[in-house]
Structure 1
Amino acid sequence: MKPMKPTVSIEYCTQCRWLLRAAWMAQELLTTFEDELGAVSLHPGTGGIFHIAIDGREIWDRKARDGFPDIKQLKQLVRDAVAPERSLGHSDRPADHG
């Protein structure tokens, strides 16, 4: 039996009309991590929620972080959780030589 691949969940606020933002982020993650992710799921919510988790572990909360991740930042967070050895090419952070 193959091990289960990680699942990203994105909970977005329907009152704020953030479905398109959530769907675009899901598309970007599925395109970038097509071999590493098992699924990206979208969950409607209310009250200004925009929460992203991998297998139930939070990687982003809009209220706690005072905003949305840019796509480069989100890809880095997902990569660090599901494929830390993987390069993201032009989306990667510069190496820390400090």
Structure 2
Amino acid sequence: MRTPRLEIEYCTQCRWLLRAGWTAQELLTTFTTELGEVALIPGTGGVFDVRIDGETVWSRKEQEGFPDLAVLKQLVRDRVAPERSLGHTDRKHS
């Protein structure tokens, strides 16, 4: 297994595969050399969780919604490349 491993577990009942795939694509485009692999994991029960090496970065149930992509990129960056600037994505979001 290549590390760090980012997992996106998504609800198949809710048909969130496209959202999970788009999120994975955006993260792979941003973190071209920092991520070892990205896995899409089918789940049920309204799950949409993002984990890095087993640690939850975002949980739709805990945060009561889907992540704003800019916020998710910052959370991932803070774990895989904390010294890296994300340019305009680093601006504060309200």
- Kindly tell me the number of residue pairs found equivalent between the two proteins: 91
| Equivalent in 10, 13, 21 of residue 12 of structure 1 | 10
| Aligned partner of residue 51 in structure 1, secondary structure | strand
- One-letter code of the match for 1:65? Q
- One-letter code of the match for 2:50? I
What's the TM-score once normalised by structure 2's chain length? 0.93
Percent identity over the alignment?
Answer: 68
Deviation at 1:93, TM superposition (A): 3.1
Unaligned stretches of 5+ in structure 2? none
Deviating above 2 A after TM superposition, structure 1's stretches of 4 or more consecutive aligned residues are none
Unaligned stretches of 5+ in structure 1? none
User: Which residue is equivalent to 1:63?
Assistant: 61
What's the TM-score once normalised by structure 1's chain length? 0.89
Aligned-residue Cα RMSD (Å) equals: 0.9
User: Which residue is equivalent to 1:82?
Assistant: 80
